[in-house]
Structure 1
Amino acid sequence: MNRMSAVPFDVRLMNITATVLFMGCLAAGVAAVGWWLMRYPAFNIGRIVVEGELVHNNAVTLRANVAPVLKGNFFTVNLKAAQEAFEQVPWVREAQVRREYPNSLRVLLKEHVAEAFWGPDTGTGLVDNTGKVFEANLGELDRDGLPRLQGPEGSAPRMLQMYRLLAPALQPLDVTLDGLVLDARGSWQLRLDNDAVIEAGGGGTEDVLQRVQRFVRTLPQITSQYKRTAEALESADLRYDDGYALRLKGVTTGSATAAGARPRR
Structure 2
Amino acid sequence: MQNLPQPLDVRLMNLTATVLFMAVLAAALLAFAGWAMRHPVFAIRAIVVDGEVHHNNAATLRANVLPRLSGNFFTLDLARVRDAFEAVPWVRRAVVRREFPDRLHVTLEEHQAIALWSREDEDAEARLVDRDGTVFEANLGDLESEDLPRLWAPNAQASEVLATYRRLAPMFARLDATLDALELTERANWRAALDSGAQIELGRGSADEVVQRTARFIDTVAQAAARYGRAADAIESADLRYPNAYALRLRGVSTVAAAPGTPAARPAAPRTAPAGTPSRRTAPQDRRNG
Same fold flag (TM > 0.5) = yes
After TM superposition, the structure 1 = structure 2 runs for residues 202-241 of structure 1, keeping only pairs within 5 Å, are 202-241=204-243
- What's 1:177 paired with? 179
When normalised by structure 2's length, the TM-score is 0.82
Cα distance in 2 between the residues matched to 1:117 and 1:64 = 26
Between 217-226 and 36-45, report the one with greater CA deviation.
36-45
Per-residue deviation, residues 106-165 of structure 1 (Å, max 9, x unmatched): 111011111111123323221111111111121222111111112112200110111111
Secondary structure of 1:134 counterpart: strand
Following TM superposition, by how much is the alpha carbon of 1:46 offset from its aligned partner in structure 2, in angstroms? 1.4
Q: Which has the higher helix share?
A: 1
- What's 2:152 paired with? 150
- What's 1:7 paired with? 7
Per-residue deviation, residues 22-46 of structure 1 (Å, max 9, x unmatched): 1110110111121122223222111
After TM superposition, the structure 1 = structure 2 runs for residues 57-206 of structure 1, keeping only pairs within 5 Å, are 57-120=56-119, 121-122=122-123, 123-206=125-208
Secondary structure of 1:214 counterpart: helix
Contact 2:127 2:138 in 1 (8 A): yes
Contact 1:115 1:129 in 2 (8 A): yes
Cα distance in 2 between the residues matched to 1:109 and 1:236 = 45
Q: How many residues align?
A: 261
- What's 2:35 paired with? 36
Secondary structure of 2:19 counterpart: helix
Between 127-136 and 58-67, report the one with greater CA deviation.
58-67
Between 252-261 and 194-203, report the one with greater CA deviation.
252-261
Per-residue deviation, residues 56-101 of structure 1 (Å, max 9, x unmatched): 1124532454234211111211110000010111111111111112
Q: Which amino acid is the alignment partner of residue 91 of structure 1?
A: W
Per-residue deviation, residues 196-253 of structure 1 (Å, max 9, x unmatched): 2111122222221121122111111011111112222121121233332211122221
CA RMSD between the two structures: 2.2
Structure 2 stretches of 5 or more lacking a match?
A: 271-289
Secondary structure of 1:228 counterpart: coil
Cα distance in 2 between the residues matched to 1:61 and 1:150 = 29
Q: Which runs of 4+ in 1 moved over 6 A?
A: none
Q: Which amino acid is the alignment partner of residue 136 of structure 1?
A: A
- What's 2:285 paired with? none
Cα distance in 1 between the residues matched to 2:264 and 2:194 = 22
Q: Which amino acid is the alignment partner of residue 44 of structure 2?
A: I
Following TM superposition, by how much is the alpha carbon of 1:12 offset from its aligned partner in structure 2, in angstroms? 4.0
